[in-house]
Amino acid sequence: MTRTDVTRTDVPSGLREQAPRYALLPLRIFLGLTFVYAGLDKLTDATFLSADGAGSIGELMRGVRDTAAFPAMVDLALDSPVGCAVALAIGEILVGLGTLAGLLTRIAATGGALISLSLWLTVSWAVTPYYYGNDLIYLMAWTPLILAGARYLSLDSLIRSRRSRRTA
């Protein structure tokens, strides 16, 4: 067989049909790992988990308060900055693990989007130009997973297939 005998559709025929099924998998892996890492990073940083001092969550919040889109949201968090940081870190870990496992993926993605939205409206709101702020990009990255979920290579799909076998 010569090189000209192989057409473009012959070689990846199965691959071409399968690719759309797994198109969101790299996004799931990236967002899941990133959020798990971000949560663990916060929980293991004693400096960050302080109400005061250089590099603390309290200092960060006071630094962004006047430039945030919703200063009242920052004020609310400043009532208990360490508690807010711990809640944020645990939320990031849960969202990341749910996304990686594909368990309640749409709910996990919605949680990720809400975390990203709150960080965009507070911490990175004043970043100029806007595309330098990564929280807005993360917010948009969660959208496909909110819409589509994790249909393949996920606990959601395993649960769905077991339910359909039981009802059949």
CA dist 168 and 165 (Å) reads: 5
Q: How many CB atoms lie within 10 A of CB 82?
A: 14
pLDDT tens for each residue of the chain, 168 residues long: 555 555 555 546 678 888 888 999 999 999 999 999 999 999 999 999 999 999 999 999 999 999 999 999 999 999 999 999 999 999 999 999 999 999 999 999 999 999 999 999 999 999 999 889 899 999 999 999 999 999 999 999 999 999 888 887
d(CA 99, CA 106): 9
Task: Report the predicted TM-score, pTM, of the whole model to 2 decimal places.
Answer: 0.87
pLDDT for the residue numbered 95: 98
Task: Give which of 42, 60, 64, 38 is closest to 51, Cα–Cα.
Answer: 60
- Per-residue pLDDT, 48: 96
CA distance 19 to 153: 13
Max Cα separation, the chain?
A: 73
Specify the amino acid at residue 86: V
